Amino acid sequence: AQKVTQAQTEISVVEKEDVTLDCVYETRDTTYYLFWYKQPPSGELVFLIRRNSFDEQNEISGRYSWNFQKSTSSFNFTITASQVVDSAVYFCALSVGGGSGYALNFGKGTSLLVTP
Amino acid sequence: DADVTQTPRNRITKTGKRIMLECSQTKGHDRMYWYRQDPGLGLRLIYYSFDVKDINKGEISDGYSVSRQAQAKFSLSLESAIPNQTALYFCATSEGQYQETQYFGPGTRLLVL
Protein backbone atom coordinates (compact mmCIF):
# COMPACT_ATOMS: atom_id res chain seq x y z
CA ALA A 1 0.00 0.00 0.00
CA GLN A 2 1.06 3.54 -0.63
CA LYS A 3 0.96 6.27 1.96
CA VAL A 4 2.03 9.88 2.22
CA THR A 5 2.36 11.60 5.58
CA GLN A 6 2.53 15.33 6.06
CA ALA A 7 2.89 15.60 9.79
CA GLN A 8 2.65 19.39 9.90
CA THR A 9 -1.00 20.35 9.73
CA GLU A 10 -0.48 24.09 9.99
CA ILE A 11 2.57 26.33 9.93
CA SER A 12 2.64 30.05 10.56
CA VAL A 13 5.68 32.20 9.73
CA VAL A 14 6.49 35.84 9.36
CA GLU A 15 7.35 37.15 5.93
CA LYS A 16 10.99 36.60 4.87
CA GLU A 17 11.42 33.59 7.12
CA ASP A 18 12.48 30.30 5.57
CA VAL A 19 10.07 27.41 6.03
CA THR A 20 10.32 23.68 5.34
CA LEU A 21 7.33 21.47 4.70
CA ASP A 22 7.89 17.82 5.48
CA CYS A 23 6.73 14.86 3.43
CA VAL A 24 7.34 11.20 4.25
CA TYR A 25 6.15 8.44 1.95
CA GLU A 26 5.72 4.68 2.05
CA THR A 27 5.77 2.31 -0.91
CA ARG A 28 7.19 -1.06 -1.82
CA ASP A 29 7.50 -0.11 -5.47
CA THR A 30 10.99 0.63 -6.70
CA THR A 31 9.75 2.95 -9.41
CA TYR A 32 7.60 5.81 -8.26
CA TYR A 33 7.12 9.53 -8.65
CA LEU A 34 6.68 12.24 -6.08
CA PHE A 35 4.85 15.51 -6.55
CA TRP A 36 4.11 18.75 -4.77
CA TYR A 37 1.00 20.82 -5.45
CA LYS A 38 -0.05 24.19 -4.09
CA GLN A 39 -3.67 25.07 -3.30
CA PRO A 40 -4.06 28.81 -2.73
CA PRO A 41 -7.16 30.22 -1.01
CA SER A 42 -8.89 30.43 -4.40
CA GLY A 43 -9.01 26.63 -4.39
CA GLU A 44 -7.28 25.50 -7.56
CA LEU A 45 -4.44 22.98 -7.49
CA VAL A 46 -1.18 24.21 -8.94
CA PHE A 47 1.54 21.76 -9.92
CA LEU A 48 4.97 22.59 -8.47
CA ILE A 49 7.31 19.66 -9.06
CA ARG A 50 7.55 16.03 -10.19
CA ARG A 51 10.48 13.82 -9.23
CA ASN A 52 11.14 10.16 -10.02
CA SER A 53 12.58 7.64 -7.60
CA PHE A 54 15.84 7.33 -9.49
CA ASP A 55 16.70 11.00 -9.34
CA GLU A 56 17.86 12.09 -5.90
CA GLN A 57 19.28 15.39 -6.99
CA ASN A 58 17.94 18.34 -5.11
CA GLU A 59 15.92 20.80 -7.12
CA ILE A 60 15.88 24.57 -6.85
CA SER A 61 13.42 26.86 -8.58
CA GLY A 62 13.67 30.45 -7.49
CA ARG A 63 12.75 30.61 -3.81
CA TYR A 64 11.57 26.98 -3.85
CA SER A 65 13.78 23.97 -3.25
CA TRP A 66 13.16 20.30 -2.76
CA ASN A 67 15.24 17.72 -0.90
CA PHE A 68 14.63 14.09 -1.88
CA GLN A 69 16.19 11.44 0.35
CA LYS A 70 15.37 7.82 -0.40
CA SER A 71 17.19 6.65 2.72
CA THR A 72 14.59 8.37 4.88
CA SER A 73 11.71 8.19 2.37
CA SER A 74 11.32 11.92 2.47
CA PHE A 75 10.69 14.63 -0.07
CA ASN A 76 10.77 17.92 1.78
CA PHE A 77 9.94 21.33 0.36
CA THR A 78 11.61 24.56 1.47
CA ILE A 79 10.49 28.09 0.73
CA THR A 80 13.23 30.64 1.19
CA ALA A 81 12.35 34.19 2.18
CA SER A 82 8.65 33.45 2.37
CA GLN A 83 6.11 35.92 1.06
CA VAL A 84 2.46 36.52 1.84
CA VAL A 85 1.55 35.08 -1.58
CA ASP A 86 3.02 31.75 -0.44
CA SER A 87 0.09 31.33 1.94
CA ALA A 88 -1.68 28.19 0.77
CA VAL A 89 -2.20 24.53 1.47
CA TYR A 90 0.62 22.41 0.10
CA PHE A 91 0.13 18.78 -0.83
CA CYS A 92 2.72 16.10 -1.32
CA ALA A 93 1.65 13.16 -3.49
CA LEU A 94 2.99 9.78 -4.58
CA SER A 95 2.28 7.87 -7.82
CA VAL A 96 3.28 4.27 -8.41
CA GLY A 97 2.52 1.71 -11.09
CA GLY A 98 -0.24 1.23 -13.63
CA GLY A 99 -2.20 -1.14 -11.40
CA SER A 100 -3.47 1.86 -9.51
CA GLY A 101 -4.03 3.87 -12.64
CA TYR A 102 -1.00 5.99 -11.90
CA ALA A 103 -3.29 7.84 -9.53
CA LEU A 104 -1.92 10.31 -7.03
CA ASN A 105 -1.90 9.32 -3.37
CA PHE A 106 -2.07 12.59 -1.51
CA GLY A 107 -0.98 13.54 1.95
CA LYS A 108 -3.47 15.50 4.02
CA GLY A 109 -1.73 18.76 3.28
CA THR A 110 0.10 21.44 5.23
CA SER A 111 -1.55 24.81 5.58
CA LEU A 112 1.04 27.58 5.43
CA LEU A 113 0.22 31.07 6.62
CA VAL A 114 2.72 33.82 5.94
CA THR A 115 2.01 37.06 7.78
CA PRO A 116 3.48 40.48 7.02
CA ASP B 1 -8.96 29.60 -21.97
CA ALA B 2 -8.33 27.04 -19.26
CA ASP B 3 -7.05 23.64 -20.36
CA VAL B 4 -9.26 21.71 -17.93
CA THR B 5 -12.73 23.04 -17.20
CA GLN B 6 -15.38 21.84 -14.80
CA THR B 7 -19.07 22.65 -14.69
CA PRO B 8 -20.80 23.67 -12.57
CA ARG B 9 -18.33 25.44 -10.29
CA ASN B 10 -20.76 25.43 -7.40
CA ARG B 11 -23.87 23.37 -6.83
CA ILE B 12 -26.38 22.98 -4.05
CA THR B 13 -28.69 19.99 -4.20
CA LYS B 14 -30.98 17.98 -1.97
CA THR B 15 -30.65 14.49 -0.62
CA GLY B 16 -31.82 11.90 -3.13
CA LYS B 17 -31.35 14.05 -6.21
CA ARG B 18 -29.30 12.92 -9.19
CA ILE B 19 -26.51 15.26 -10.14
CA MET B 20 -23.86 15.28 -12.83
CA LEU B 21 -20.52 17.05 -12.73
CA GLU B 22 -18.79 17.59 -16.04
CA CYS B 23 -15.16 17.87 -17.01
CA SER B 24 -13.70 18.89 -20.36
CA GLN B 25 -10.08 19.23 -21.42
CA THR B 26 -8.26 20.69 -24.39
CA LYS B 27 -4.86 19.25 -23.51
CA GLY B 28 -5.32 16.17 -25.69
CA HIS B 29 -4.57 13.88 -22.78
CA ASP B 30 -5.72 10.28 -22.71
CA ARG B 31 -6.03 9.84 -18.95
CA MET B 32 -8.69 11.52 -16.87
CA TYR B 33 -9.40 11.31 -13.16
CA TRP B 34 -12.00 12.34 -10.62
CA TYR B 35 -10.90 13.15 -7.07
CA ARG B 36 -12.77 14.31 -4.03
CA GLN B 37 -11.35 16.67 -1.40
CA ASP B 38 -12.67 16.82 2.14
CA PRO B 39 -11.31 19.22 4.74
CA GLY B 40 -8.25 17.77 6.45
CA LEU B 41 -8.27 14.60 4.34
CA GLY B 42 -6.40 15.56 1.19
CA LEU B 43 -7.69 14.27 -2.14
CA ARG B 44 -8.99 10.76 -2.76
CA LEU B 45 -9.52 9.01 -6.07
CA ILE B 46 -13.07 8.22 -7.17
CA TYR B 47 -12.66 6.96 -10.74
CA TYR B 48 -10.13 7.07 -13.53
CA SER B 49 -10.15 6.43 -17.26
CA PHE B 50 -7.30 5.68 -19.64
CA ASP B 51 -9.45 6.08 -22.73
CA VAL B 52 -13.09 6.05 -23.82
CA LYS B 53 -13.39 2.29 -23.37
CA ASP B 54 -11.36 1.99 -20.20
CA ILE B 55 -12.94 3.08 -16.91
CA ASN B 56 -11.79 1.98 -13.48
CA LYS B 57 -12.90 2.40 -9.90
CA GLY B 58 -10.77 4.25 -7.44
CA GLU B 59 -10.55 4.21 -3.68
CA ILE B 60 -13.99 5.66 -2.98
CA SER B 61 -16.25 4.82 -5.95
CA ASP B 62 -19.34 3.74 -3.99
CA GLY B 63 -22.27 6.06 -4.69
CA TYR B 64 -20.67 7.45 -7.87
CA SER B 65 -20.66 6.55 -11.54
CA VAL B 66 -18.80 8.02 -14.50
CA SER B 67 -19.06 8.33 -18.24
CA ARG B 68 -16.26 9.02 -20.73
CA GLN B 69 -18.19 10.44 -23.63
CA ALA B 70 -15.12 11.34 -25.65
CA GLN B 71 -11.40 11.68 -25.14
CA ALA B 72 -11.97 15.21 -23.94
CA LYS B 73 -14.99 14.67 -21.67
CA PHE B 74 -15.37 12.77 -18.42
CA SER B 75 -18.51 13.14 -16.32
CA LEU B 76 -19.14 12.16 -12.71
CA SER B 77 -22.65 11.31 -11.52
CA LEU B 78 -24.14 11.00 -8.08
CA GLU B 79 -27.20 8.84 -8.65
CA SER B 80 -28.81 9.68 -5.34
CA ALA B 81 -26.91 12.37 -3.49
CA ILE B 82 -26.39 12.15 0.26
CA PRO B 83 -25.06 14.78 2.68
CA ASN B 84 -21.69 13.08 3.20
CA GLN B 85 -20.99 13.59 -0.50
CA THR B 86 -20.67 17.29 0.23
CA ALA B 87 -17.12 18.03 -0.88
CA LEU B 88 -14.87 19.73 -3.41
CA TYR B 89 -14.57 17.65 -6.58
CA PHE B 90 -11.62 17.85 -8.92
CA CYS B 91 -11.10 16.52 -12.40
CA ALA B 92 -7.52 15.92 -13.57
CA THR B 93 -5.85 14.87 -16.80
CA SER B 94 -2.46 13.49 -17.72
CA GLU B 95 -0.60 12.13 -20.70
CA GLY B 96 -0.53 8.38 -21.21
CA GLN B 97 3.06 7.62 -20.26
CA TYR B 98 3.87 6.26 -16.81
CA GLN B 99 3.42 8.53 -13.82
CA GLU B 100 2.92 11.77 -15.63
CA THR B 101 2.00 15.06 -14.08
CA GLN B 102 -1.72 15.48 -13.52
CA TYR B 103 -3.27 18.84 -14.30
CA PHE B 104 -6.34 19.78 -12.35
CA GLY B 105 -9.50 21.64 -13.19
CA PRO B 106 -10.72 24.48 -10.95
CA GLY B 107 -12.95 22.20 -8.89
CA THR B 108 -16.69 21.94 -8.21
CA ARG B 109 -18.01 22.75 -4.75
CA LEU B 110 -20.98 20.52 -4.03
CA LEU B 111 -23.30 20.92 -1.07
CA VAL B 112 -25.89 18.22 -0.44
CA LEU B 113 -28.61 19.29 1.96
Q: State pLDDT tens for residues B16-26.
A: 999 999 999 99
Residues present in chain A in total: 116
* Of the candidates A5, A31, A25, the residue with the CA atom closest to the CA atom of residue A97: A31
pLDDT at residue A63 is higher than 80: yes
**B101 contacts A45? CB cut-off 8 A:** no
Residue A46 CB contacts under 8 Å (≥ 6 apart), including other chains: A37, A38, A39, A40
Q: Establish whether the linkage from the previous residue to B8 is cis, with ω within 30° of 0.
A: yes
**A101 contacts B102? CB cut-off 8 A:** no
pLDDT in tens, A28-53: 998 999 999 999 999 999 999 999 99
Cα B8 to Cα B75: distance, rounded to the nearest angstrom = 11
Does residue B14 sit at the A interface (CB-CB below 8 Å)?
Answer: no
**B90 contacts A108? CB cut-off 8 A:** no
- Å between B107 CA and nearest CA of chain A: 7
Within 8 A of A101 by CB-CB distance, chain B residues are 31, 33, 45, 48, 50, 56, 58
| E strand segments, chain A | 3-5, 10-14, 19-21, 24-26, 33-39, 46-52, 59-61, 64-69, 74-79, 88-95, 105-106, 110-115
Burial of residue A71 (number of CB atoms within 10 Å: 0-12, 13-18, 19+) = exposed
pLDDT at residue A75 is higher than 80: yes
Cα A38 to Cα B110: distance, rounded to the nearest angstrom = 21
pLDDT (average), residues A75-94: 97
Q: Are A1 and A94 in contact (CB under 8 A)?
A: no
pLDDT (average), residues A8-33: 96
The CB density around residue A25, as the number of other CB atoms within 10 Å, is 21
- Å between A107 CA and nearest CA of chain B: 6
A108 vs B41, B48, B109: nearest CB? B41
DSSP designation for B100: P
Q: What is the structure's pLDDT at B1?
A: 59
pLDDT in tens, B55-97: 999 999 999 999 999 999 999 999 999 999 999 999 999 987 7
Q: What mean pLDDT is reported for chain B? A: 94
Q: What is the structure's pLDDT at A32?
A: 93
pLDDT (average), residues A3-23: 97
Percent of chain A with pLDDT over 70: 99
pLDDT in tens, B97-109: 777 899 999 999 9
